[in-house]
Amino acid sequence: MTSTLPLRIVHIDTGRSLRGGQRQMLMLARGLRDHDHEQMIVCVEGSSVESRARQEGFQVFSLPPSDPGHAFGILLLRQQLRMWRPKIVHAHDGRGQTIGWLASVGLPIKRVASRRVTFLPSDGWTYRLKYGRTCHAVIAVSENIRGLSVQAGVPRERIMVIPDGIEMLRDLPSPSEKLNLRKSWRCDEDEFLIGFLGASTLEKGQDVAIEAMNLLAEQMPNARLILAGGGAADTHSVRARVLRLGPIEDLGQLMPGLDLFIMPSLAEGLGSSALWAMSYGLPVVATRVGGLPEIIVENETGWLVPPNSPQALAEAILQACGDRDRLAEFGRRARARVERFSADIMVSRTEELYRQITGGKH
């Protein structure tokens, strides 16, 4: 796609750590920079997002961290928008959408909001106002989220489905890299390592993963659960072998060492962690919720199980471990499937949306 003139784009994300949404925002910004667009990233001072954005050379506007409701930050941002005169303000989380709207209302700026969570407020009018009135376009990362948004009253024609993207590895990690990573975890070559990436919040299902491993403790004594992400679930009843890595920023320090990736979420907008795992050639066991069935083809690239069911998750893990040739074939198919979720496609479709709402050629 060739564009006429570069756009000035402001991205807003109020997350303090580098989770899936923040990684996607930075990936989009990198892709748009390659297309010669000027960008500014608005984030909270002292956050991991601020640190990474500055490290990658982006212009950054930092919101004061101790600022109830970001009231002062909104005033400062409005002054910045008046001076910098961007064409697009793209909010990547719900709080960022509120900030972007209040800072730009009345200015000749088009507002875009990304929706990647399935949470809907109990009062539907708030959601309709926020995403039906205060922005010019909504990006839903899955058909599931678009359906929920339409159900909540957002006009369908205002919503474009643009799934999260991933930067594909040219080559998979070598067997020696896999072995060295396992050694750093003090795991043996013949152990069956199952990976989990996510916060310990209820909707990510970390407690379900641990309970599933407890059920498998006797049947799979060589299995180990590798937990990566912030926080920790209650482990007083853990019988299985669990290794906690804590928060990680480099997925190359997790994915290459695994045999299987699990995503037992209770709710999931799309499931970018599953995409990353598949890009490393890993089959995935995930719950049949949100956008995960849009990623994983059952009995081809992985397994889909009911949510909040340690027994169903345990059975799928046992099935995956029982046929290593099939597991390897699923991994190859998984890697082929995620090519349709490449970062280049995500960037190009987002750029096309920007052009549409600003009236530019595309």
Residue 338 has pLDDT above 90, yes or no: yes
Global model pTM greater than 0.95: no
Task: Quote the distance between the C-alpha of residue 42 and its chain's center.
Answer: 19
What band does 121 get if pLDDT is binned at 50, 70 and 90? low
- Sequence-distant (6+) residues with CB within 8 A of 238 are 210, 213, 214
- Contact (Cβ atoms closer than 8 angstroms) between residue 343 and residue 27: yes
CB atoms within 10 A of CB 222: 12
Task: Answer whether CATH 3.40.50.2300 is correct for domain 8-165+342-358.
Answer: no
Mean pLDDT of the chain: 91
**CATH second-level architecture of 175-341?**
3-Layer(aba) Sandwich (3.40)
Angle, CA 20 vertex, CA 321 and CA 95 arms, to 5°:
145
Q: Return the closest-CA partner of residue 48 out of 13, 73, 80.
A: 13
- Per residue in 159-211, pLDDT (tens digit) is 999 999 998 888 898 999 999 999 999 998 899 999 999 877 888 999 999 99
- Measured in degrees and rounded to the nearest 5, phi and psi for residue 216 equal -95, 0
Same topology, domains 8-165+342-358 and 175-341? Answer is: yes
Q: Where are the domains of the chain?
A: 8-165+342-358, 175-341
- Residue 80 backbone zone (phi > 0: left; psi -120 to 50: alpha; other: beta): alpha
